[in-house]
Amino acid sequence: MANVRDATYALLRELGLAASFNNPGLTEETFLKNFPTDFTHHLALQEASAVAMADGYAQVMRKPDLVNLHTAAGLGNAMGILMTAAFTKTPLIITAGRERSRKSRRGNCGMSGATSWKPAISKRTVMSISALFLRCSTLRGRRPR
């Protein structure tokens, strides 16, 4: 594959994860640029809304779903809904963009699961999504009422 972005889309297709729920920021623009026509992009105006939509969709479809959030702050904004999804054992794969700041010497927000869609990033992103899909597929969530 040419880069991590292309490899990720190929994996998502193979896993049947063609719908994604997003609250993108600047760091996620490269992932959404030239978004494949066979994918469905559900835009949310706040991170909690993106996770809530994905939670409902995953419960109805009875399969894991992908959520792409904006950096550490976005993950923090979604935390309440993420706790609900964890309680109901909804299978969600959450990615959060990588935050780079001139004020930060470490280069990212310290999140071990942060992703970046730049071509130079390692193949760990694709392997992580694959491993999370397998793990999520074994969760037994509650049936929607």
CA torsion, ordered 92, 40, 25, 114, to nearest 10 deg: 30
Res. 145 pLDDT band, cuts 50 70 90: very low
Distance CA 75, CA 51 (A): 10
All domains in the chain, ordered by first residue? 4-137 (3.40.50.970)
Which of these ranges, 37-51, 59-73, 100-114, 127-141, has the smallest mean pLDDT?
100-114
Give the pLDDT confidence score for residue 5 in this predicted structure.
79
Q: How confident is the model at residue 99 (pLDDT cuts 50, 70, 90)?
A: low
Identify whether the C-beta of residue 8 lies closer than 8 Å to the C-beta of residue 39.
no
DSSP 17: -
pLDDT of residue 119: 43
- CB-CB contact of 30 with 117 (8 Å): yes
pLDDT digits (tens, 9 = 90+) for 24-54: 877 777 777 788 899 998 999 899 999 999 9
Given this model, what pLDDT does residue 98 score?
Answer: 65
d(CA 75, CA 19): 19
Residue at 80: amino acid letter: G
CA distance 49 to 38: 23
- What is the percentage of the chain residues whose pLDDT exceeds 70? 74
Q: Where do runs of H (alpha helix) occur along 62-109?
A: 71-77, 79-87
- The answer to whether residues 42 and 53 touch, using CB atoms and an 8 Å cutoff, is yes
